[in-house]
Amino acid sequence: MNRAIRLIRRRAISSIPVLLIVVILTFGLLESASGDAVDAYLLSIGGGDATVAQALRQAYGLDQSMMARLWVYVSSLATFDLGWSIAFDRPVLDLILERLPNTLLLMGSATAISFGLGSALGIVAGAKPESAVDRTLSTVSLILYAIPSFWLGLVLSIVFAVQLRWLPTSGIETIASGKGGLARALDITRHLVLPVGALALIYMALFLRVMRSGMAEAWQLDFVVFARSKGLSRSRIVLRHVARNALLPLVTMLGLQSAAMLGGSVVIESIFAIPGFGRLAQEAVGGRDAPLLMGIIVVSAVLVICVNLIVDLVYAALDPRVGASESAG
């Protein structure tokens, strides 16, 4: 337990400068935009005169120098204040917290399904490298992994929602259905089948490939050769020795993929009209809402740091060698 706390503390300290770099770079990028949120707002309401624009800029602090505003932003960030969304006219943090659960539900289910299926199929493929089963699974996973998620989502919705009419095409739940409890949960599940399916199929392919190649390598390791020469049964070697050894890189992969998954939520949520974090990013871009976009990038960075921390904790629990050398420090 001590080891875990030390890991968390060390990670939190080392994350601060990295987050600061993210904030400064994003701030600089959004600053270089031609036209600000006030321009976008005035355009959307059909124009306004210079005094109105001046008053709005003053109200949002847009008339101050860049360094001054960066300082204000960073210091308010320290109190978990992410600023005010101009397009929605609400605090950025509230908007993000409102949308985040949908995305976490989507990503969590897709990750769980793809991790489970991918590692299981990876074990099947890696149990006998270069066999017919392995070659088939490897080929299928290669093709699956090459499919863009938004296109797979579209194809799945053409087949299952438009043609077969088995599932709804979009949304997270039936609007104003008045459902509650279990009925509502079931309704949300039905809405999530296609988007989760599209994401899970693609990530399953990735986990399958990582598991399979880890196992193919493990077969060459001395202790596996030794287990085979001892005459242990093949299934026992596959599960106890080979697969177990190949599981660690898969856990690492989970952390590495978290950023890509958050990015991928933008397109999949746009296809299925799910009011989540990714769709919020698209809306921020559409509304030229710099504070919102900024908040989204900062929060996504924090999320990725958290996921990686969890992955590291799991890793440390699985592999006692991790962090053992640091116990002196």
d(CA 122, CA 204): 9
In one-letter notation, the amino acid at residue 147 is I
Query: Considering the rule CB under 8 A, would residue 12 count as an interface residue with another protein?
Result: no
211, 123 Cβ separation under 8 angstroms: yes
Residue with tokens 């938004």: 150
Instruction: Find the helix or strand (DSSP H, E) in which 90 lies.
Output: strand 90-91
Q: Kindly state the smallest distance separating residue 297's Cβ from another protein, in Å.
A: 6
Q: Kindly state the smallest distance separating residue 92's Cβ from another protein, in Å.
A: 15
Residue with tokens 């089948």: 193
Ramachandran quadrant class, 20 (left: phi over 0; alpha: psi -120 to 50; beta: rest)? alpha
Query: Considering the rule CB under 8 A, would residue 26 count as an interface residue with another protein?
Result: yes
Residues 156-175 that bind another protein (CB under 8 A): 157-158, 162
Which of residues 1, 5, 17, 132 is near another protein by CB under 8 A?
Answer: 17
CB of 154 or CB of 227, closer to another protein: 154
Residues 124-153 that bind another protein (CB under 8 A): 142-143, 145-151
d(CA 246, CA 252): 11
Q: Would you give the distance in Å from CA 108 to the centre of its chain?
A: 9
Query: Considering the rule CB under 8 A, would residue 266 count as an interface residue with another protein?
Result: yes
In one-letter notation, the amino acid at residue 281 is A
Radius of gyration of the chain (CA): 24
Query: Considering the rule CB under 8 A, would residue 205 count as an interface residue with another protein?
Result: no
Ramachandran quadrant class, 105 (left: phi over 0; alpha: psi -120 to 50; beta: rest)? alpha
Query: Is the C-alpha dihedral spanning 260, 266, 270, 273 positive or negative?
Result: positive
In one-letter notation, the amino acid at residue 85 is S
Q: Kindly state the smallest distance separating residue 329's Cβ from another protein, in Å.
A: 17
**Beta-bridge mates of residue 85:** 90
Q: Kindly state the smallest distance separating residue 233's Cβ from another protein, in Å.
A: 31
The tokens describing 111, both together, are 């990750």
Query: Considering the rule CB under 8 A, would residue 117 count as an interface residue with another protein?
Result: no
Nearest to 311 by CA among 261, 266, 267: 261
CB of 242 or CB of 301, closer to another protein: 301
CB of 93 or CB of 309, closer to another protein: 309
Q: Kindly state the smallest distance separating residue 191's Cβ from another protein, in Å.
A: 18
Q: Among the residues of the chain, which ranges form H helices?
A: 2-31, 37-44, 50-60, 66-77, 92-127, 132-146, 149-156, 181-218, 222-229, 234-236, 244-271, 277-286, 290-318
Query: Considering the rule CB under 8 A, would residue 66 count as an interface residue with another protein?
Result: no
CB of 55 or CB of 310, closer to another protein: 310
CB of 237 or CB of 257, closer to another protein: 257
Q: Kindly state the smallest distance separating residue 189's Cβ from another protein, in Å.
A: 24
Residues 297-326 that bind another protein (CB under 8 A): 297, 300-301, 304-305, 308
Query: Considering the rule CB under 8 A, would residue 18 count as an interface residue with another protein?
Result: yes
Query: Considering the rule CB under 8 A, would residue 293 count as an interface residue with another protein?
Result: yes
CB of 109 or CB of 308, closer to another protein: 308
Which of residues 70, 105, 154, 316 is near another protein by CB under 8 A?
Answer: 154
Q: Footprint of another protein on this chain (CB under 8 A)?
A: 17-19, 21-22, 25-26, 29-30, 32-33, 142-143, 145-151, 154-155, 157-158, 162, 259-260, 262-264, 266-267, 270, 281-282, 285, 288, 293, 296-297, 300-301, 304-305, 308
